[in-house]
């Protein structure tokens, strides 16, 4: 079983350390792992994500799951943070996402524009901010510059930065797409180089056909375990969390999640897979995640 970086070894400034300590040791599993519930899909995909689970249209649903399912934090955009979080403040830490976009226009050269600031996060009592970086987009120059201003503001306020590091855009497609070990691996390193404290990655998919389009150095057989370890390695001293993905069978999702933890991940981010279920099922899945994470203290 791989080691994950310990908070004490990350050389974090006191504000960042105090806030991450809260997420890692005072809420959720509280054993140094993370279990985060994101509710940003309404902006990224539109309300269609809520259609199979009608309760989920009301953001209170996700906030209740986060509190009663004992998550480490809930991650959402400024609108929900201002209108819903006040009722739950103190009961569940907040990760304020600072940028976002709709899926409507073309994704050839994506850029996720800033829609809130670190100062908003401080004002709302958030314990971290989130940023979506589109690694490989031809607009990386704007993305990096935008991220820099946020990273600097976060350094000033001692606010941890969680980077959703996503390979995207035409050049990524030409090199095998967003799910190859090459793409995810590069995304992990870029987030580390730019100053992420926590990096959210998608689990790389092992698809030999697509991998052929990637650079030569990646041309070998990868087991899923090796792939996971590689991308976690590339994140270095940044904590890695993996997505639970769309709603699937609970058991297989848990297996996949456990593989991530085994490979050295610090935690999990379970969104649709949790809240696209009825409340009681969501609680059940949350409990299972808790049980599993207890084994990775």
Q: Are 150 and 122 in contact (CB under 8 A)?
A: no
Choose one: 80-88, 245-253, 263-271, 286-294; the region binding a copy of itself (CB under 8 A).
80-88
Q: Let me know if 97 is a catalytic residue.
A: no
Q: What are phi and psi of 40, to 5 degrees?
A: -120, 5
> Is 222 among the residues that bind a copy of itself (CB under 8 A)?
no
Ranges within 6-25 binding a copy of itself (CB under 8 A): 10-11
Choose one: 55-63, 205-213, 265-273, 286-294; the region binding a copy of itself (CB under 8 A).
55-63
Ranges within 183-202 binding a copy of itself (CB under 8 A): 185-186, 188-196
**Rounded CA separation 76/269 (Å):** 12
Smallest distance from the beta carbon of 116 to a copy of itself, in angstroms? Answer: 7
Among 27, 33, 72, 77, indicate the residue that binds a copy of itself (CB under 8 A). 77
Residues 6+ apart with CB under 8 A from 195: 151, 155, 161
Q: Are 66 and 287 in contact (CB under 8 A)?
A: no
Query: Whose Cβ is closer to a copy of itself: residue 60's or residue 287's?
Result: 60
Taking alpha carbons only, the member of 201, 155, 205 closest to residue 181 is 205
Among 101, 125, 157, 259, indicate the residue that binds a copy of itself (CB under 8 A). 101
Paired with 132 in beta bridges are 164
Instruction: Count Cα neighbours of 13 within 13 Å in the Cβ-side half-sphere.
Output: 13
From the candidates 131, 166, 186, 218, which is the catalytic residue? Answer: 166
> Is 79 among the residues that bind a copy of itself (CB under 8 A)?
yes
Ranges within 106-165 binding a copy of itself (CB under 8 A): 106, 111-117, 119-120, 123, 135-138, 140-145, 147-148, 151-152, 155
Ranges within 165-184 binding a copy of itself (CB under 8 A): 167, 169-172, 175, 182
Paired with 38 in beta bridges are 75
Q: Let me know if 85 is a catalytic residue.
A: no
Among 6, 18, 31, 47, indicate the residue that binds a copy of itself (CB under 8 A). 47
**Rounded CA separation 253/30 (Å):** 22
Q: What is the DSSP string of 57-116?
A: GSHHHHHHHHHHTT-SEEEE-HHHHHHTGGGTTTTS-EEEE-B---SSS--SS----B-S
Query: Whose Cβ is closer to a copy of itself: residue 193's or residue 291's?
Result: 193
> Is 27 among the residues that bind a copy of itself (CB under 8 A)?
no
Q: Which residues are catalytic?
A: 166, 200
């Amino acid at each position: 079983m791989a080691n994950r970086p310990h908070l004490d070894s990350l050389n974090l400034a006191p504000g960042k350390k105090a806030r991450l300590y809260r997420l890692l040791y005072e809420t959720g599993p509280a054993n140094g792992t993370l279990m985060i519930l994101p509710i940003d899909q309404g902006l990224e995909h539109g309300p269609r994500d809520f259609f199979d689970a009608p309760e989920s249209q009301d953001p209170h649903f996700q906030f209740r799951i986060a509190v009663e399912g004992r998550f480490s934090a809930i991650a959402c955009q400024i609108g929900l943070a201002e209108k819903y979080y006040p009722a739950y403040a103190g009961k569940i830490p907040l990760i304020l996402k600072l940028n976002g976009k709709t899926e409507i226009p073309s994704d050839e050269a994506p850029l996720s524009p800033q829609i809130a600031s670190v100062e908003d996060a401080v004002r709302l009592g958030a314990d971290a901010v989130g940023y979506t970086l589109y690694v490989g987009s031809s607009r990386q120059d704007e993305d990096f510059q935008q991220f820099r201003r946020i990273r600097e503001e976060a350094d000033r306020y001692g606010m941890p930065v969680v980077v959703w590091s996503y390979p995207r855009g035409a050049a990524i497609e030409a090199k095998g797409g967003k799910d190859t070990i090459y793409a995810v691996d590069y995304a992990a390193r870029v987030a580390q180089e730019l100053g992420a404290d926590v990096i959210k990655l998608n689990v790389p998919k092992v698809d030999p056909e697509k991998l052929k389009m990637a650079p030569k150095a990646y041309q070998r057989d990868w087991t899923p375990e090796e792939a996971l370890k590689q991308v976690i390695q590339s994140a270095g001293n940044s904590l890695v969390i993996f997505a639970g993905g769309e709603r699937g069978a609970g058991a297989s999702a848990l297996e996949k999640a456990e593989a991530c933890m085994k490979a050295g991940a610090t935690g999990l981010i379970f969104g649709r897979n949790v809240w696209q279920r009825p409340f009681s099922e969501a609680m059940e899945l949350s409990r299972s995640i808790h049980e599993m994470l207890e084994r990775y203290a």
